[in-house]
């Protein structure tokens, strides 16, 4: 194993969450995380470990991010006000890096690749370069998730095997040219290392790709043991976790998105999973409950 995200590698840790590592089915009580916060400047990197898996949260966007209240047009003012969300819903653009013991360095999504993107900075904080990313899993093909895969016409992750939903890929290839330009360019650049999975497939590191369609035609969530990387299941978690019936306007198929959100949230509750979301506010994860 070339890299191990031991604490010695970390100059800074914004947040650490540990769950006891034990086999078999855990009770609700033992799933409660022991949480330790460390704030150093405005760092946005966080690490937490569950069983043999370590997941690192890397916020890609440089500043604070609020999803505008107008994104959730169906949510009534009275509810939004009661939650104190009139001015927007705390959010982020995030990626997650996973290390499985004796296994792999896997990145989930890549952020926007904007000039002020912090993904490279986040990797460097861990002593990693883009060349160290062995596997890249994509939740879907929106620009804030695949934008970081290319820098102009150059691939950013020269050694990564890329995993994406076949349903997502096929759907995008049917879209008008102006909508799919970034997707076509990016997938072409990685085509020799692109693996299109079916829902239910097990990927390297024992990660399972699960169907979560609605936001996009092939939107995928990834499960690694007790961790569920949920992509864009929720854009405004402070509203949608308790009220999954409300969509952000980004959801392409609202009916499917609502059904998926309810189903996945129940799955998380039933199994005591910890969610890692690409638009969750700090610290990027929500422990199972």
Is the four-CA dihedral 277, 282, 288, 289 of positive or negative sign? negative
The C-alpha atoms of residue 246 and residue 236 are separated, in whole angstroms, by: 10
Q: For residues 286 and 244, what is the distance between their CA atoms, to the nearest angstrom?
A: 15
CA 120 to CA 31: how far, in whole Å?
32
How far apart are alpha carbons 260 and 91 in whole angstroms?
A: 20
Stretch of 66-74, 96-104, 169-177, 230-238 lying at the interface with Zn ion (CB under 5 A) = 230-238
Q: Closest distance between Zn ion and the C-beta of residue 227, in Å?
A: 19
CB-CB neighbours of 35 under 10 Å:
12
- The stretch near Zn ion (CB under 5 A) out of 32-40, 43-51, 120-128, 231-239 is 231-239
Is 232 among the residues that bind Zn ion (CB under 5 A)? yes
DSSP 108: E
CB closer to Zn ion, 47 vs 232 = 232
Binding mask 60-79 for Zn ion (x = CB under 5 A): --------------------
Stretch that binds Zn ion, among 31-39, 162-170, 224-232, 259-267 (CB under 5 A): 224-232
- Our CB check for Zn ion shows the closer of 47 and 144 to be 144
Kindly determine how many residues on this chain lie close enough to bind Zn ion according to the rule CB under 5 A: 2
Is the CB of 31 or the CB of 232 nearer to Zn ion?
232
Closer residue to Zn ion (CB): 16 or 138: 138
Site string for Zn ion, 84-113 (x = CB under 5 A): ------------------------------
**Given its phi and psi angles, is residue 216 left (phi above 0), alpha (psi -120 to 50 degrees) or beta?**
beta
Residues 6+ apart with CB under 8 A from 13: 7, 38, 40, 43, 45, 46, 47
- What count of other Cβ atoms lies within 10 Å of the Cβ of residue 267? 15
CB of 231 to Zn ion, least distance (A): 7
Per-residue binding string, Zn ion, 126-155, x by CB under 5 A, is ------------------x-----------
Q: How far is the CB of 202 from Zn ion (least distance, A)?
A: 25
Name the residue nearer to Zn ion (CB basis): 122 or 236.
236
Residue pair 109/278 in contact by the 8 Å Cβ criterion: yes
Closest alpha carbon to 147 in 188, 186, 189: 186
What does the binding site for Zn ion look like in residue numbers (CB under 5 A)? 144, 232
């Amino acid at each position: 194993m070339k890299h191990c995200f031991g604490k010695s590698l970390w100059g800074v840790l914004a947040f650490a969450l540990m769950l006891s590592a034990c086999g078999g089915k855990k009770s609700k009580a033992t799933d409660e995380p022991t949480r330790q916060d460390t704030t150093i400047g405005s760092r946005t990197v966080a690490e937490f470990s569950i069983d043999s898996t370590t997941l690192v949260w890397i916020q890609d966007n440089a500043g604070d991010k609020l999803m505008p209240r107008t994104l959730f047009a169906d949510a009534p003012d009275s509810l939004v006000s009661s939650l104190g969300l009139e001015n927007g819903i705390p959010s982020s653009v995030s990626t997650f890096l996973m290390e499985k013991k004796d296994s792999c360095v896997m990145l989930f999504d890549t952020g926007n690749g904007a000039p002020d993107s912090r993904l490279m900075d986040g990797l460097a904080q861990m002593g990693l370069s883009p060349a160290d990313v062995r596997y890249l899993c994509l939740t879907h093909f929106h620009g804030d998730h695949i934008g970081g895969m290319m820098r102009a016409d150059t691939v950013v992750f020269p050694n990564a095997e890329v995993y994406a939903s076949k349903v997502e890929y096929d759907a995008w290839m049917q879209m008008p040219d102006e909508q799919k330009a970034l997707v076509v360019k990016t997938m072409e650049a990685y085509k020799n290392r692109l693996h299109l999975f079916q829902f239910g497939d097990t990927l390297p590191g024992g990660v399972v790709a699960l169907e979560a369609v609605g936001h996009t035609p092939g939107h995928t969530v990834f499960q690694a043991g007790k961790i569920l990387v949920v992509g864009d299941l929720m854009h405004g978690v402070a509203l949608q976790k308790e009220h999954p019936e409300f969509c952000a306007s980004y959801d392409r198929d609202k009916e499917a998105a609502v059904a998926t959100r309810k189903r996945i949230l129940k799955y998380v509750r039933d199994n005591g999973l910890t969610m890692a979301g690409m638009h969750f506010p700090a610290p990027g994860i929500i422990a199972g409950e």
